[in-house]
């Protein structure tokens, strides 16, 4: 979701919320990687058979529709808001929505890239 996070970071900087940068970095970097998940599976006794990586795009008419999408509100919005001080959330999200709407206006849509991975693994038979 690099397109979103780039604009979110710009809003944090423009709003003078530099004290939030560490929380932002922690939020973005906490995601697991193919290597880290493969390592956990291997440590748990699984053998990796195959790894397939790809990405897909979620397309929105604008930033307003993105921020109001049920999946974003349910799965992401609470974690995004925790990055910011409580008294800055509303104004920062107004700025963020405006920035995302500007991107959508310039590009004809707001397109967000979603990375994905499928890891096939099995425990060896030990019978």
Q: What is the mean pLDDT of residues 57-81?
A: 96
pLDDT at 125: 82
Contacts of 38 by beta carbon, 8 Å cutoff, 6+ apart = 48, 51, 119, 121
Q: What is the pTM of this model?
A: 0.83
Residue 104 CB burial class (10 angstroms; 0-12, 13-18, ≥19): buried
Q: Is the pLDDT of residue 66 over 90?
A: yes
Q: Residue 91: inside a domain, yes or no? A: yes
Q: Residue 13: inside a domain, yes or no? A: yes
pLDDT tens-place string over residues 98-116: 999 999 999 999 999 999 9
Residue 96 CB burial class (10 angstroms; 0-12, 13-18, ≥19): buried
Q: Residue 77: inside a domain, yes or no? A: yes
Q: Residue 127: inside a domain, yes or no? A: no
Which 3 state secondary structure label does DSSP give 72? helix
Distance from C-alpha of 81 to C-alpha of 88, rounded to nearest angstrom = 9
H/E/C letters for each residue in 102-114?
HHHHHHCCEEEEE
Number of domains in the chain: 1
Structural domain for 54, as ranges: 2-122
Q: Is the pLDDT of residue 31 over 90?
A: no
């Amino acid at each position: 979701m690099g397109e979103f996070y780039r604009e979110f970071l710009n809003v944090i900087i423009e709003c003078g919320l530099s004290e939030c940068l560490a929380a932002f970095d922690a939020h973005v970097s906490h995601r697991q990687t193919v290597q880290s998940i493969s390592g956990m599976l291997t440590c748990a006794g699984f053998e990796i058979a195959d790894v397939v990586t790809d990405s897909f795009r979620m397309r929105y008419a604008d930033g307003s529709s993105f921020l109001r999408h049920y999946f974003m509100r349910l799965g992401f919005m609470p974690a995004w808001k925790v990055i910011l001080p409580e008294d800055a959330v509303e104004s920062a999200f107004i700025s963020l929505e405006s920035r995302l709407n500007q991107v959508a206006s310039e590009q004809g849509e707001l397109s967000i890239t979603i990375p994905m991975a499928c890891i096939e693994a099995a425990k060896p038979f030990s019978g």
